[in-house]
Amino acid sequence: MKTIHFVSLGCPKNRVDTEVMLGVAERAGYSHTSEPSEAEVIVVNTCGFIDAAKKESIDTILELSEHKKGACRKLVVAGCLSQRYAGDLEKDLPEVDHFLGSSDMLKLGTALGGNAERLLVGNPADWVVSASDPRSVSTRGASAYLKLAEGCNRKCSFCVIPQIRGKQRSRRPDDIVEEARRLVDAGVLELNLVSQDTVAYGRDLDDTVRLAEVVRRVADVPGVRWVRLFYLYPEKLDDALVELLAEHPRVVPYVDMPLQHAADAMLKRMRRGNGGKRHREVVERLRKAVPDLFFRTAFIVGHPGETESEFQELHDFVEWAEFDRVGVFHYSDEPTAQSFSQDDKVSRRTALARARKLMKLQRGISKRKNKALVGKTLEVLVEGPSEESELVFVGRHAGQAPEIDGVVFLSGGEVRPGQLRSATITRTTDYDLLGEVTDDAGDDARDVVRTAPPIVHRASDGRRVTLRTVT
Ligand code: SF4
């Protein structure tokens, strides 16, 4: 069989695109190898959102291009970096055989075929995944991402995603539900709903399409056990959605809502509409309606114009809100972002110091919240053996999203990937939990077979590739 190796960088949305390309490759007779030196074709699905992601993408391409001296016959670069810097990369990386953009996943079939001419990136707004596209899920255990829409219509000052991914294109509800069914048939129990701006789902379709209704339909697909919502923009939430989070037995009480800041003037500079007061109202409303809610959010510090007192306001807000988990990012000055032209840039040193301070505060809060779970019995979705030992299995409770929120290390019973088991939490570390299995294996125990997940490489060989942004 022909072999192909994938590296998927960046966010879960990119991960779904990688999985579609993996599906295309499998249809073309390729099997995935986790060993790049054995692969005839290597595909790097890049991220190009901020400087650190760009560097990681280029380092990865350069490292993997070394395999062209060995078994590799074709090197394909796809995704956001490729879309954003099409001209520069095509010129500076002659060793890359084909470039695919963020809407070109299905074109991988052409790139794999015979002596196809060098493919170059297409229009970023051409495509959104559909249930009929081939897709091979690569996430661990019985979990998968389900994309609701592609692109974004907002104008946040710091963000270049709408330039890279185009305007929002929501999938039709029937198509989403159909894909949910297919994923469940393939052994998936947990569906993680993603898009760039999940709250805005359906606004580009007709008036009858509602996010809450689609979430409910997905959660009602027979066999689904957990549905989780990501990337909720902090605007007035639909009552029906809050009700689902509070009451639907298969919509987990988990919210991922990037708030970005808490000071009014900063939110205005960030073009994030709502002020800090509204943020407090959203947090209070969700906590009141969903008492066992796990709340994940993210903030950017060091955005142009951020004063010490505005940062302090954010710090106070985080102290008040006691989120379960917080991602803290220091601002990255991107040439085509609106914030690039804003005055009062904050020094990198100050931004890093603020990020450290906020993370320190949150570390204490997260630790306290984890400790409060000791003695509780939680339902845990078993993922598989831990990375440290084949003998220790890990799983996640409903408040732990895959690949981002830590895990539960399981002891005291035989478990299999894909099972939902009860575990009593006995100890905690900074991010993870230890749990003792307290039930017998249920009838619904199912074996879950997964292809090897794409491996992410980090490398640097000192060669420079110039990225100039074309506006
Ligand atoms: S809503 Fe998200 S993806 Fe859209 S512009 Fe804002 S930060 Fe970027």
H-helix segments, 270-347: 276-289, 308-321
Please count the helices (runs of H) and the strands (runs of E) in the chain: 13, 18
**Closest C-alpha to 283, from 259, 261, 251:** 259
Atom of ligand 1 nearest to the CA of 272: 6
> What pLDDT, in 10s, does the model give residues 279-304?
999 999 999 999 899 999 999 999 99
The DSSP string of 250-274 is: TEEEEEE---B---HHHHHHTT--S
> What pLDDT, in 10s, does the model give residues 326-362?
999 999 999 999 999 999 999 999 999 999 999 999 9
Q: Is 200 in the pocket of ligand 1 (CB under 6 A)?
A: no
**379-409 core/surface letters (b: 16 or more CB in 10 A; e: else):** bbbbbbeeeeeeeebbbbbbbbbbeebbbbb
- pLDDT grade, residue 457 (50/70/90)? very low
Average the pLDDT over 77-93 and give the result.
Answer: 91
Q: Which of 66-70, 87-91, 445-449 has the highest mean pLDDT?
A: 66-70
On the question of pLDDT at 456 being above 60, the answer is no
CA distances from 153 to 113, 116, 198, 274, 303 (A): 36, 35, 11, 16, 21
Q: Is 152 in the pocket of ligand 1 (CB under 6 A)?
A: yes
Backbone torsions φ then ψ of 382, nearest 5 degrees: -75, 130
Query: What pLDDT score was predicted for residue 114?
Result: 73
- In the reported structure, the alpha carbon of residue 238 is separated from the centroid of ligand 1 by a whole-number distance in angstroms of 20
Radius of gyration of the chain (CA): 22
Atom of ligand 1 nearest to the CA of 260: 7
Q: Is 256 in the pocket of ligand 1 (CB under 6 A)?
A: no
**What one-character DSSP code corresponds to residue 345?**
P
Between β-strands 2-8 and 41-46, what pairing exists: parallel, antiparallel or unpaired?
parallel
The residues, any chain, with a CB within 8 Å of residue 344's CB and separated by 6 or more, are 304, 305
Q: Is 204 exposed, middle or buried (0-12, 13-18, 19+ CB in 10 A)?
A: middle
> Which range among 139-148, 165-174, 238-247, 460-469 shows the weakest confidence by mean pLDDT?
460-469
Query: What pLDDT score was predicted for residue 442?
Result: 57
